[in-house]
């Protein structure tokens, strides 16, 4: 080794970065020791805390809506988790108790409560739950920033080719990194399952975590090679080592260039079968990235983003302009608009859904829309009015039975009649589809296919409900896999039944972007893959290099297997 030294950590986001070290040090919040003497003053401290929490939630929601951060579904899930932590009644109750009964200031109460919670999570044997300590620390810092007005938030101006060195990075810090300047990061703490690691991978930032205390010996301005695959950091490398890693960088860039060269090619197999590759997006601005990556349209437009980070429901005009923008920018390519999917982990503070013991199986999505029809009708009117500007389709989420489909279609027909009588133009033949994400819907796919124009399989929830696994629960998350034979049989059955009715089937869950699943889904007969824009080139590369005949053989072989691990090992062998 001709470099000064090498540090070994855990690679969590592949790629090689060469840059200049920037050491990130955050100001520590110490206890003030202030005693709040009177009941009146203590109530004021509680109100300050409550307002800081509200402001913190708004900040996170603002991050979600900021298109410049190029947020992925993974980012959204993590920010949703942070909002959930911020609104945790136990944290609020503990802070209130510290203020009322121990006479702490709001500042000191937050530090004590968050420190105790962080320590509890860090000491857990389960690695996934232990990694949640970083999320708790993040929300604690955010609340403190809002309590202590004037404190600068994260976001220094980094120089070009910066490799960030830190004790740890909060998930929201990682989400908002300027990736045009920060080319990689390494942290002393962290793990593979930390939200920071997940975000880095989604953004394509090479990253190494769990480097240990030796990492903090790096000095600002030193040259660093960071290998996010092997987990190695080389400090002040010599010319020979530098040459080796620059060559590796070139190879990686060449591979990416190969994928980009597929941009304008159709997703056609070697034996001539055509698939459609769509993207999951949240607004019109993301369409540019969709088309840059060779996407042919939008398989999922998440409309709930329009409803979040505000104090009231968007008006019909606001929604109309939002959908119109997407329709125009899509240039007549298909755009499937999912109707409002709130509830579960997506709450609207101004709507006031009562707390539920199991919100994922409660009052959410189409259930709310059919119950609160004024909200639903406003959205449908806006979508239908915008439909004349592009190729829009409407999709209903969280369908569990035939009655819901019929009711939703009746609502659409009522709105169509209303618009027609008012002389307002709309696409009279707009297609209507449903998401298949509940096992009951999958099992009656033959019945539902007669009522709609298309299906879209949401594998994230379908896996969760089929396997009875909360993937955010570290105790059972290992059971969560879309390669479970039960899940695969449901997906296959849905596709088969839809095709009997000559209805196309898309898939818009994480499985669509999993390279290991591509051949299997091809063989099942899936018509459309919908994923994050960045994932499109990799999936297209698999489609165009293989034949449908091979994919069908892969599917046939997999369906005879009875264990996810066996299935995964086999798919790793056959993928090229």
Structure letter (DSSP) for residue 164 = E
Q: In this structure, are 484 and 405 located in the same domain?
A: yes
Q: How many domains does the chain have?
A: 3
Lowest mean pLDDT among 202-216, 447-461, 495-509: 202-216
pLDDT at 152: 38
Instruction: Tell which wins on pLDDT, 509 or 1.
Output: 509
Does any domain span residue 78? yes
| Together in a domain, 70 and 12 | no
Q: What is the pLDDT of residue 474?
A: 60
Confidence at residue 466, expressed as pLDDT on a 0 to 100 scale = 96
Give the whole-angstrom CA distance, residue 128 versus residue 135: 12
pLDDT digits (tens, 9 = 90+) for 512-530: 989 999 999 999 999 999 9
Task: Specify whether 227 is located in the same domain as 284.
Answer: no
More confident residue, 267 or 534: 267
Scan for tokens 């703490």, then name that residue.
189
Pick from 232, 259, 286: which residue ends a domain? 259
pLDDT band at 16; cut points 50, 70, 90: very high
Does the residue 311 lie in any domain?
yes
Within this chain, do residues 161 and 134 fall inside the same structural domain, yes or no? no
The contacts of residue 466 (CB under 8 Å, 6+ apart) are 439, 484, 486, 487, 490
More confident residue, 124 or 507: 507
**Are 222 and 317 members of one domain?**
no
Return the closest-CA partner of residue 186 out of 168, 173, 204, 201. Answer: 168
Whether 205 and 80 map to the same domain: the answer is no
CATH of the domain at 117: 1.10.274.10
- pLDDT > 90 fraction of the chain, expressed in percent and rounded: 58
Q: Tell me the residue range of the domain where 43 lies.
A: 39-147
Residues 123 and 246 in one domain: no
pLDDT digits (tens, 9 = 90+) for 240-297: 999 999 999 998 888 778 777 888 899 999 999 999 999 998 888 889 889 989 999 9
pLDDT band per the 50, 70, 90 thresholds, residue 120? confident
Average pLDDT over residues 169-180: 79
Residue at token pair 């008012």: 422
- Which band of pLDDT confidence, cut at 50, 70 and 90, is reported for residue 154? very low
Domain-embedded: residue 347:
yes
Q: How far is CA 495 from CA 449, 480, 532, 554, in A?
A: 10, 22, 22, 16
Residue 174 lies inside a defined structural domain of this protein: yes
Q: Average pLDDT of the chain?
A: 88
Give SS3 for 163.
Answer: strand
265 shares a domain with 253: no
pLDDT at 110: 92
pLDDT at res. 67:
60
Q: Which residues are catalytic?
A: 195, 508
The last residue of a domain, from among 92, 123, 147: 147
pLDDT at residue 408, as a whole number:
98
Residue 505 lies in a domain: yes
Does this model's pTM top 0.85? My answer is: no
pLDDT mean over 469-494? 87
Task: Indicate whether 219 pLDDT > 70.
Answer: yes
Residue 32 lies in a domain: no
User: Would you say residue 451 has pLDDT above 90?
Assistant: yes
Question: What local confidence, expressed as pLDDT, does residue 170 receive?
Answer: 76
The CATH number for 444's domain is: 3.20.20.60
361 shares its domain with 500: yes
| Whether residue 213 sits in one domain with residue 294 | no
Q: Please tell me which residue, 353 or 366, carries the higher pLDDT value.
A: 366
Is 34 part of a structural domain of the chain? no
Residue ending a domain, among 147, 175, 190, is: 147
Task: Please check whether residue 513 lies inside any domain of the structure.
Answer: yes
DSSP conformational letter for 166: E
Q: How far apart are CA 411 and CA 417, in angstroms?
A: 10
pLDDT at residue number 178:
82
Backbone dihedral region for residue 496 (phi beyond 0: left; psi -120 to 50: alpha; all else: beta): alpha
- 86 and 110 co-located in one domain: yes
Q: Are residues 165 and 292 in the same domain?
A: no
pLDDT of 112 = 92
pLDDT single digits (tens) 185-204 = 999 988 776 767 777 877 78
Question: Which of 18-27, 126-135, 262-271, 420-429 is the least confident region?
Answer: 126-135
Lowest mean pLDDT among 282-291, 406-415, 453-462, 522-531: 282-291
């Amino acid at each position: 080794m001709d470099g000064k030294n090498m540090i070994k950590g855990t690679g969590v986001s592949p790629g090689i970065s060469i840059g200049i070290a920037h050491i990130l040090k955050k100001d520590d919040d110490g206890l003030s020791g202030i005693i709040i003497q009177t009941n009146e003053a203590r109530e004021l401290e509680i109100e300050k805390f409550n307002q800081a929490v509200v402001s913190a939630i708004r900040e996170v929601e603002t991050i979600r809506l900021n298109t410049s951060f190029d947020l992925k579904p993974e980012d959204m899930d993590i920010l949703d988790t942070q909002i959930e932590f911020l609104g945790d009644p136990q944290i609020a109750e503990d802070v209130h108790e510290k203020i009322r009964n121990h006479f702490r200031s709001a500042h000191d109460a937050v530090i004590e409560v968050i420190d105790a919670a962080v320590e509890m999570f860090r000491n857990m044997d389960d690695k996934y739950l232990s990694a949640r300590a970083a999320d708790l620390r993040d929300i604690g810092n955010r609340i403190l920033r809002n309590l202590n007005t004037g404190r600068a938030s994260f976001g220094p101006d980094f120089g070009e080719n910066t490799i960030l060195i830190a004790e740890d990075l909060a998930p929201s810090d990682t989400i908002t990194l300027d990736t045009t300047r920060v080319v990689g990061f390494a942290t002393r703490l962290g793990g593979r399952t930390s939200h920071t690691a997940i975000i880095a991978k989604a953004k394509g930032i090479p990253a190494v975590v769990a480097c240990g205390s030796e990492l903090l010996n790096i000095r600002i301005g030193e040259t660093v090679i960071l290998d996010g695959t092997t987990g190695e950091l080389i400090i002040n490398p010599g010319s020979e080592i530098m040459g080796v890693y620059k060559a590796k960088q070139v190879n990686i860039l060449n591979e990416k260039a190969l994928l980009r060269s597929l941009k304008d090619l159709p997703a056609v197999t070697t034996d001539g079968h055509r698939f459609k590759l769509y993207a999951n997006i949240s607004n019109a601005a993301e369409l540019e990235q969709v088309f840059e990556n060779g996407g042919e349209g939008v398989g999922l437009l998440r409309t709930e983003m329009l409803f979040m980070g505000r104090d009231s429901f968007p008006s019909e005009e606001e929604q109309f302009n939002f959908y119109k923008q997407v329709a125009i920018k899509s240039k007549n390519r298909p755009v499937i608009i999912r109707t409002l999917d709130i509830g579960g982990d997506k709450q609207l503070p101004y709507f006031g859904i009562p707390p539920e013991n199991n919100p994922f199986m409660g009052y959410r999505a189409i259930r709310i829309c059919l119950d609160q029809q004024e909200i639903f009708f406003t959205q449908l009117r806006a979508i239908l009015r915008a439909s004349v500007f592009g190729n829009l389709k409407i999709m209903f989420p969280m369908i569990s039975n035939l009655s819901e489909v019929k009711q939703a279609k009746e609502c659409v027909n009522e709105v169509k009649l209303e618009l027609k009588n008012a002389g307002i133009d709309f696409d009279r033949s707009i297609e209507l589809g449903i998401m298949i994400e509940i096992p009951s819907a999958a099992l009656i796919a033959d019945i539902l296919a007669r009522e709609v124009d298309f299906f879209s399989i949401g594998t994230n929830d379908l896996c969760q409900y089929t396997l009875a696994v909360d993937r955010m629960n570290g105790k059972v998350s290992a059971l969560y896999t879309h390669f479970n034979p039960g899940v695969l049989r449901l997906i296959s059955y849905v596709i088969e039944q839809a095709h009997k009715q000559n209805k196309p089937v898309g898939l818009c869950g994480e499985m669509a972007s999993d390279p290991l699943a591509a051949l299997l889904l091809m063989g099942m007969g899936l018509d459309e893959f919908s994923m994050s824009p960045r994932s499109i080139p990799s999936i297209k590369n698999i489609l165009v290099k293989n034949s449908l005949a091979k994919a069908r053989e892969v599917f046939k072989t997999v369906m005879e297997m009875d264990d996810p691990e066996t299935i995964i090992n086999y798919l790793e062998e056959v993928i090229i």
